[in-house]
Amino acid sequence: MRVLLSTIGSRGETQPIIAVAVEMGKLGHEAVVCAPPDFQGWAESLGVRYIPVGPELHGTAKRPPSGPVMAEQRQQMIDGTVAVQFEAVGKAAEGCDVIVGGGGLAIAAHSIAEHLSVPYVYAAFAPITLPSPFHAPPAFGLLGEQNTDDPAEFAPRWEAERSRWNTMWRRPLNAQRELLGLPQIEDVRSHLFTDRPWLAADPVLAPWPGSSDMEVFQTGAWLLEDPRPLEPELEAFLTSGEPPIYFGLGSAHVPPALARAVLDATRAAGRRAVVSRGWADLDISEGSGDVIAVGDVNQRLLFPRVAAIAHHGGAGTTTVATASGTPQIVIPQNFNQFYFAARVEALGAGVAIREEPTGDVLRTALARVLGDPFPAVATTRGEQIATDGAGVAARTLLDVCAGRWPASSEPAV
């Protein structure tokens, strides 16, 4: 069997599908990943066949929004993105028995599967991105939206989101479908998500609340079994003193003053720090022997060895952080990160910062999570997080190819 796993997202979407590709290989089957070029070398080092699509994403974290983009320019960019995806995914899908679209921007995956007459699976990485009467869609802060917990707002927000999907994507999507001889689609979101999506998220950290319109199968989070050891310099740092604090915002935009705030907060707490440079290439040149900067690192090895984890709230990072049993400080920037920040707080595994992370704010948050009851609660929550979601997904894909679709998961709440 051969499976194509497609996404157009950043590491938060690409790493999970690479994890499933690795699990498919363990089962003796072939997997092809079609994703942005940033992650090609890393995936191939794991033995995964990789076909790049679109431009590199790295570096966008350094560029905060500078104002609205002209509608014509934005639409030209969307048209180009759709065309590039159809070309790349179409080539990558040759000989595949099933196609997986990971995340909402994998626009071409369902159409290519339809064209080839093979099964298609849509995978979401957070419950809040799937329509439900029990939550609103995640807000796009760049569009001036704010998140809401008001149930009266849920249905109107989902309808507005449906309209936005159609306005942005329906015309270019249908143009490419016409070239393949496929019928036009009326609703982009329902076409991409289907009525039987998969939810690649942990049911304790990110439970599916239920929906009257979809049968959701929750696999658990797709975590990569990273074989890499920690770098010798980092290993030496960890063993030379008390557990440090980890700071990292991944591919998110980093506030310019964050490096200074990190150093102020950790030193005020009498702690050392491990600082991830991230895509914004965070500068800690003012640091001394109490701070070490790291690049891409094996979080599953590192996180259990630190005293607290401050991060941006991405789906993958939050899952690994929660599974580590280490208390967290979540600094959400956009989209579903606010959802995961709220879930960490709801589980008692940490606190969220919803304001500028100044030195004073970080000091207060650190003092909270390092004291009772957070370490003990975080340990308990860590024991509840499953880590085999990628294996579940790989085995279930075999069933899908055999014509056996999984039963929907019972809502957790």
How does pLDDT run across 269-303, given as a tens digit for each residue? 899 999 987 655 566 665 568 899 898 899 999 99
Three-state secondary-structure class, residue 215: coil
Query: Which residues, 6+ apart, have CB-to-CB distance to 404 below 8 Å?
Result: none
Provide CB contacts within 8 A for 48, sequence distance 6+: 18, 21, 22, 25, 31, 33
Edge-to-edge strands, sheet with 49-52:
49-52, 30-35, 2-6, 98-102, 120-124, 198-199, 217-218
- Which residue type, as a one-letter code, is found at position 363? R
Whether 51 and 74 have beta carbons less than 8 Å apart is answered as no
Q: What is the pLDDT of residues 301-326, one digit of tens each?
A: 999 999 999 999 999 999 999 999 99
Half-sphere exposure of 291 (CA within 13 A, CB side): 21
Residue 309 in 3-state DSSP?
A: strand
Overall CATH class of domain 2-223+387-401 = alpha beta
Residue 200, C-beta contacts closer than 8 angstroms, at least 6 positions apart? 16, 102, 123, 124, 125, 219, 220, 221, 222, 389, 393
The CA distance from 231 to 298, in Å, is 9
Cis peptide before 52 (omega within 30 of 0): no
Of the pLDDT bands very low, low, confident and very high (cuts 50, 70, 90), residue 75 is: low
Q: Is 403 left (phi over 0), alpha (psi -120 to 50) or beta?
A: left
Structure tokens at 28: 């003796």
Say which residue the tokens 């999507």 belong to: 173
DSSP 217: E
The structure tokens listed for 235 are: 């290993």
Q: Which fold has domain 232-384?
A: Rossmann fold (3.40.50)
- Whole-number pLDDT of residue 61: 46
Map tokens 């995640």 to a residue.
138
Burial 154-177 (b: 16+ CB within 10 A, else e): beebbeebbeebbebbbebbbebb
Domain 2-223+387-401 and domain 232-384 have a common topology: yes
Q: pLDDT tens digits, residue range 125-142? A: 999 999 999 999 998 654
Q: Is the pLDDT of residue 47 over 70?
A: yes
Domain regions of the chain by residue span: 2-223+387-401, 232-384
pLDDT at 410: 62
Here the tokens at position 370 are 């390092």
pLDDT digits 0-9 by tens, 139-179: 865 445 678 889 999 999 999 999 999 999 999 999 999 99
pLDDT at position 282, please? 60
Residue whose structure tokens are 């917990």: 149
Q: Are 306 and 281 spatial neighbours (Cβ–Cβ below 8 Å)?
A: no
Look up residue 193 and give its amino acid. Answer: F
327 neighbors 350 (Cβ within 8 angstroms):
yes
Q: Which amino acid is at 48?
A: V
Q: What pLDDT shows up at residue 65?
A: 45
pLDDT in tens, 380-390: 999 999 999 99
Alpha helices in 46-117 (DSSP H): 71-92, 109-116
**Main-chain dihedrals φ then ψ at residue 246, nearest 5 degrees:** -100, 135
**pTM for this predicted structure:** 0.92
Number of neighbours of residue 236 by Cβ within 10 angstroms: 11
Q: How far apart are CA 273 and CA 295, in angstroms?
A: 14
Q: Does pLDDT of 49 surpass 60? A: yes
What does DSSP say about strands 198-199 and 217-218: parallel, antiparallel, or unpaired?
parallel
